[in-house]
Structure 1
Amino acid sequence: LLMTACYILFHWNACVYFLFSLAEGLSEDDTNAFGFSYYKVFDPRIPTCSTITVPNIWRKCTNFGLGSKWCLSIETCQDSTKNKPTIGKFVFKSRCFRFVKWEMGNFSREYSMSIYWSALTITTCGQQPYPSSSPQNMLEVIDTLIGVLVFATIIGGVGSVVTQMNVDVYDFRQKMDGIKFYMKYRMVTPEIQDRVISCFTYMHSHFQDLLYVLPPRLQGQIAVNLHMETLKKVELFKVNESAGFLYEVVLRIKQQIYSPNDYLFRAGERAKEMFIVKHGTLRVIDEETSTPAMTLTDGATFGEMSVILIAGNQLGDHRAVSLRSEGYADVYILNQDDVSTILQDYPSDRERLIANGERRISGAACLCCMTPALRLCDPLHVPNYLCMRFNVLVWIASVARCSSSFQIKLKGHDGSYLMNLSQYMFQCLVHTQYVSLL
C-alpha cells in the first residue's frame, strides 16, 4: 500500500513536470537544462562480440590488466608503465566491443526521465539541474514542500503502526524492568530473581490476559470447551447430570502457572482446592520419606474430595502429601468456597454430590458416626461460628463411638449418650443463639 501511494504521487508529479517542460520548450542538446530534454536520455546500446579481430599491436602477452607487459607484436614486448594504452583507446581501436543500438520510443524516454526527476525532487535527494528562472524555482519549491509534508505524514503513520504493533512488547518490557528494579532494590537473592524472571517471561508468552477482553458468555463457552470433558471424568462429579451445575462449576475454575520446583501445596496445609493439570507434570511428594509417590500429567486431577464438606470425614481437612511442579505447569484450580456457593442454588446436586463423597470415603473406611445431626453442621445451613463450637462436641461423640478404649474410660457410658447430648445442645444453640454457653 505504501509503495502504491508513493508511485501514484511520483506519477502525477512527473506529469506536471513534463507539461511544465513543454510549456517552456524542450531543449534538444543541453544536458544541464532544468526542463525535459531528449538528449538526457540515450537509447541503450547492447554490446556484441560475434566477430573479434584484435590487431597484434594491442595483443597481450600476459594477463590483461594484471600483467605488466603489452605487445607491439607477438615477438617483442615492452614494459606497460611506459607504453600502456588507455582504456578508451583500447575500446575504440579494437573491434571487439561492437554494439547494437536499441531504439526506444519517445514515450519511454519521456516517462522514465520525468518520473526520475519527480522521485528525486519529492524525496529531496537533489542531483538534478538547478532551476534558472522564477517559474522553475516555484516548481522546485512547491515539489519540495509537498515531498516534505507527504513523506513526514507517511513516516509518522508507519511509525504509529509499528508502535501499535509493539505495544504489548513495550508494556512487557516496562513491567520486566520494574520487577528487576524492585528485586535489586530489595536485595532479593539471585536464585529467586532468575525464577521470577523466567516465570514472568513464560506467562507473557502464553497470553494470560487475552480472554479478559471477551464478553462473559464467550469466556464461558471457551471454559466449557476446555474443562467440561475433564470435569465429567472426575469421580466426584460423575453423578451430577445437571448441565447447569457443571456449567457454573466450570466458570469458577481459575488458571494458574507454576514454574519448575514450585509447590502447589505442602503436607499439613489445609485442603480447599481441586487441581486439574492442563499442561505440564506435577509430582506428589511424601514428606516423611521425601520420595515421589505419584506423577500427574495432562488431564489428571488431584484433591477432588477437598471441594466439598462431608461430616465424619476422618481424612481431615489437611494435606497428607505435598504437590510439586516438575517444570512449567498450566494448572486449573477449583476452590471449595466456590463449590459451596454453587451448591446453595442446586440442592438436588448437593445431595447427590455429598452422597457420592460419602460412598467414596466409606469405601476407604474413613467415615465415622454419620448421623443427620452431623450433616446439619454445614456452612450452607448454619453460621460458621456455630459450626465451630458444635464441631468440638461432634469430635467428642465420634471418638466415643469409634474408640473402645474411650468407652471403657467412661465406665459404661455409651458413646451414643454423648452424641444425643451434643445434638440436643446444638439444637438449643441454634434456637436461642446463646453462644456464651459453649
Structure 2
Amino acid sequence: MVASIHWNACAYFTLSRHIGFGRDPWVYPNISDTNNARLSRQYLYSFYFSTLILSTIGNTPVPVREEEYLFVMADFLIAVLVFASIVGSMESIVSNLDQSGRSVFPDHQLIGDYLRSQRVDRKLQERVTRWTQHLRLYKKLTNERQVLQMLPDRLRAEVAVSVHLQTLRKVQLFQSCELGMLQQLVLKLQPQVFSPGDYVCRKGDVGREMYIIQDGRLAVVADDGVTQFAILEVGNYFGEISILNIAGNSLHVHNL
C-alpha cells in the first residue's frame, strides 16, 4: 500500500505540473513560494494528498477540471478494489484456519446447536463447552487415529512413537521394557482429554482401562469430592489392575 501511495503521489504531482502549479485549489500549490519549491515539501504534500484519496478518507479540495475528476474517480476505484482484495484475503485466511481447526478439534458451534435443540440441561451444556474450549486452548487431540488414518500403518506407527514414547518411558512400570515392546504398547494408546472438574472414573465403575497421565494433574478424592487422598502428576498411572482382570480398589478420581 505504501508503494501504491508513492506512485499515486508521483502521478498527482505530474498531473499538477501538466495543469499548472497553483492553477486551482486541487493541484499542487504554486512553486514560486520558496517553501513549495523544496523537494521534501513537494513529496510530502503529494504523498499526503495521495494517502487521503487512496484511504478513501477524502477531505481533499474539490476537483475543478475534467482531468482532476478522472484522477480522483480512478483513485477511488483502485482504493475500493484494493480494500476488497485485502478483506477477501483475510476472510479466506480466517475461513481456512477455522476449517483446519474443525478438522482436528470438535466443532463447538455444531455441538452447541445440537445440545440446545435437544434441550439438554444448561449445566451439562456448560461442561461440554468448557471441554471443547479446553481442547482448542491447549491443543489437545481426541481423534488422533482419525487424523492419521490416511497414513500407511508403518508411518502411522512412527508418528505415534514420536508423540507418545516419551510419555510411556516415564511410567515406572515400563522403564525396564525393551524398545520394541514399548513401540507396540504405544500403538495401543488412545488419547483422552478431560476438562478441569471432570471425573475420570468413579467408585463402583468397572475398570477396563489403564490411564497414564501425559499432562496435567489428577486428584484421588473421597466420596464428598473434596477430601484428597493423593495427587497424581505427569508420568503417574492408575488402573493397571483393570487390564489384568483383577478387581482393584475403586476410588473417586477427579481431574484438577
1:322 aligned residue:
250
TM-score computed with the length of structure 1 as normaliser = 0.47
- Residue 251 and residue 9 in structure 1: after superposition, are their counterparts in 2 closer, same or farther (change >3 A)? same
Counterpart of 1:34 (choices 26, 34, 38) is: 26
After superposition, the C-alpha distances for 1:203-229 in whole angstroms (9 at most, x for unaligned) are: 332222396469622332121122223
Unaligned runs of 5+ in 1: 1-5, 44-103, 309-316, 329-438
Counterpart of 1:264 (choices 183, 201, 209) is: 201
1:221 aligned residue:
162
1:19 aligned residue:
14
Shift of 1:8: 0.9
Q: What letter is aligned with 1:224?
A: L
Q: What letter is aligned with 1:264?
A: C
Shift of 1:283: 1.8
Shift of 1:172: 10
Shift of 1:138: 2.7
Q: What letter is aligned with 1:218?
A: V
- Residue 193 and residue 322 in structure 1: after superposition, are their counterparts in 2 closer, same or farther (change >3 A)? farther
What's the secondary structure of 2:61's corresponding residue? coil
After superposition, the C-alpha distances for 1:245-284 in whole angstroms (9 at most, x for unaligned) are: 1211122122222353525254372x43222233312427
Counterpart contact for 1:268–1:319, Cα < 8 Å: no
Counterpart contact for 2:210–2:239, Cα < 8 Å: yes
Counterpart of 1:297 (choices 232, 237, 241) is: 232
Counterpart contact for 1:268–1:318, Cα < 8 Å: no
Counterpart contact for 1:34–1:129, Cα < 8 Å: yes
After superposition, the C-alpha distances for 1:320-378 in whole angstroms (9 at most, x for unaligned) are: 432433234xxxxxxxxxxxxxxxxxxxxxxxxxxxxxxxxxxxxxxxxxxxxxxxxxx
RMSD over aligned CA atoms reads 3.8
Alignment pair present for 1:107 and 2:51: no
TM-score computed with the length of structure 2 as normaliser = 0.74
1:280 aligned residue:
217
- Residue 138 and residue 192 in structure 1: after superposition, are their counterparts in 2 closer, same or farther (change >3 A)? closer
Distance 2:91 2:110 in 1: 26
Counterpart of 2:188 (choices 248, 252, 273) is: 252
Identity percentage over the alignment?
A: 23
What's the secondary structure of 2:204's corresponding residue? coil
Higher strand share: 1
Counterpart of 2:55 (choices 123, 130, 134) is: 123
Distance 1:40 1:323 in 2: 93
Unaligned runs of 5+ in 2: none
Distance 1:185 1:145 in 2: 46
What's the secondary structure of 2:187's corresponding residue? helix
1:7 aligned residue:
2
